Chain A
Amino acid sequence: MFVINCPYCGERDQQEFKAGGEAHIERPKQPTELSDDEWAEYLFMRKNIKGVQFERWNHAHGCRKWFNMVRDTSNDEIKLVYKMGEKPPLE
């Protein structure tokens, strides 16, 4: 994983990017209604998958835009990148 294909800028060195953790964690629609357990689930609990995982990345030293990535965490192979707001691909 030395080169990342930013959906806005194209292929750039990995050093320019910042990982933003698990993707598609939905912000609670009614935060005031949440129980402590639900808050813990939203804030702290992570899938932390060994295998194919959906992630957010930021082109921090480039266009500074956020995007999504599908990556195999067992060998760091990047499968796919797609823009924010786009539906995650079904696998």
Chain B
Amino acid sequence: MKNKYSIFSLIKNAFSYHENWQKAWKDSQPKKEYDAVIVGGGGHGLATAYYLAKKHNMKNIAVVEKGWIGGGNTGRNTTIIRSNYLWDASAGLYDHALKIWEGLSQELNYNVMFSQRGVMNLAHNLQDVRDLKRRTHANRLNGIDAVYLNTEEVKKFCPIINTSPDIRYPVLGGTLQRRAGTARHDAVAWGYARGADDMGVDIIQNCEVKGIKRNSDSVEGIETTKGFIKTNKVGVVAAGHSSVIANMAGLRLPLESKPLQALVSEPVKPIIDTVVMSNAVHAYVSQSDKGELVIGAGTDDYVSYSQKGSHQIVEGTLNAILELYPIFSRMRMLRQWGGIVDICPDASPILSKTSVKGLYFNCGWGTGGFKATPGSGDLFAHTIANDEPHKLNAAFNLNRFVSGDLVDEHGAAAVAH
């Protein structure tokens, strides 16, 4: 690597007042032709390019991004990482990602601040208890760490939770995945961008795709705001805008794009050292290293690309947060924002070939794509390079909506979608 980050490079650069650090990635302009082009410079897209270059030796490739890298859902999510999914296919997919997370900072020589602080999911009624116990057993059969906690154990693990039996939705128990946690979202995009750039990948920002050129059965290139780019392989990783890109190629996807909101509070001293998620009342909370509470709200039920959600969604989430954590009653919220998430009917992603040769889609991650970033990139790179899915993403093909072989994680996963 041309510019390895270490204690020595830190000291060396201190002598020049940190003014001469090499750029982490160069500002590339498009060439006429590439072996493959990735549409979308978020975490998943950049990871795909990184693994294409690293594991499949495809160096003449580009990532095109309409804004700046990591400026979409990568920079808007609540950074929760876990793999406690119910079904075997999902467990394989998400735990593959979690295993890569565990060594990612070393691999990228970039601190992604992966913190295995544990993720706890709460149960508020008898059906929750049964579902969560079932999921704990399923997780363990798939080699994923999971334990079930009773109310006292929940209270012991996270003392600020109100476990009083007389609240509206009392805490009856919960599950804990200790290997789960959080990471720094921007660092993931930047780390992958730096790694990919170092292997010769062109990262082209402010370059919006306007059309996909295809003949009757295969892709020939893309029209962009920076001109036509010829290529035989296009990997689309455009999250909320996947349907828009698919439409350019004359395809339809089983997706609906909806606003999902999150918010952060003013920074305070350390108060919650884990991630707590509640499916039933739809409130997630963790604390960032800056001290802000990071709170995830729910999705609106209508299609929207406006990156704004409804006020009552935020209000509902904060009501639940206050009931569960009375200590936060005087906290002030600092920022609130929305992102556009592409939701599949079965709440599972699509990492798939399409009916057009050379056109691949990685989409449908809905409300929970961040956790899968490294695994998604790795498996999508495999799919593009070999024109065949890896066995871990074979179940997540587009054809499942025709065959009926859905991976139904709605409610089955640890969180409502």
Contacts and interface: CB of A to CB of B under 8 A. Distances in A.
B211 interface: no
Contact of A47 (B241, B252, B302): B252
Interface residues of A, number: 27
Contact of B402 (A19, A40, A73, A76): A40
Contacts of A55: 302-303
Nearest to A50: B305
B401 A44 contact: yes
A48 B257 contact: yes
A20 to B, nearest CB: 9
Nearest to A71: B302
Interface residues of B, number: 25
A41 B401 CA distance: 9
Given A21-B256, A47-B252, A48-B256, A73 B243 contact: no
Contacts of A39: 402
A75 B306 contact: yes
Contact of A36 (B254, B301, B306, B402): B402
A9 B332 CA distance: 37
25 contacts: A14-B312, A15-B312, A19-B300, A19-B302, A19-B303, A21-B256, A21-B303, A40-B254, A40-B402, A43-B401, A44-B401, A45-B252, A46-B252, A46-B255, A48-B253, A48-B255, A48-B257, A48-B303, A49-B303, A50-B244, A55-B302, A55-B303, A73-B257, A73-B305, A74-B305
A53 B247 CA distance: 14
B43 to A, nearest CB: 22
Contacts of B252: 41, 45-47
Contacts of A74: 305-306
Interface string A1-24: 100000000000011001101100
Interface in B286-303: 300-303
B243 A46 contact: yes
Given A46-B253, A50-B241, 4 more contacts: A14-B312, A21-B303, A36-B404, A48-B255
